[in-house]
Amino acid sequence: MNRNYVIIDASEVSSVDFNNVLETSANTLRYNVAGDKTFVKYEGAMPPFLLGKTTYSHAEILAILDGEEWTEPMEE
């Protein structure tokens, strides 16, 4: 089954139903560098609390997470 990914604001974490996503708790989420966004992944039908949000494929989320917003620059 294909996994789907959705970026949410950090302020929305309290509304995440962890029974419907592959993460197990707020403590297992990865946040962006600024700490104001995170993402969840799910398989199958989109959980109701994510309706209306943009869904990304695995390749798309990898490209996003590789960007400066999500990855600290390497110090030289």
Positions of the chain with pLDDT under 70 = 1
Distance CA 67, CA 22 (A): 23
Burial of 64 (0-12, 13-18, 19+ CB in 10 A): middle
Question: Tokens standing for 76?
Answer: 């030289």
Name residue 38's beta-bridge partners.
8, 31
| Cα 5–Cα 66–Cα 31 angle in degrees, nearest 5 | 60
pLDDT in tens, 35-54: 999 999 999 999 999 999 99
Rounded to two decimals, the pTM is 0.91
Strand partners, 42: 4
pLDDT of amino acid 46: 96
Predicted local distance difference test score (pLDDT) of residue 74: 76
Three-class SS of residue 29? Answer: coil
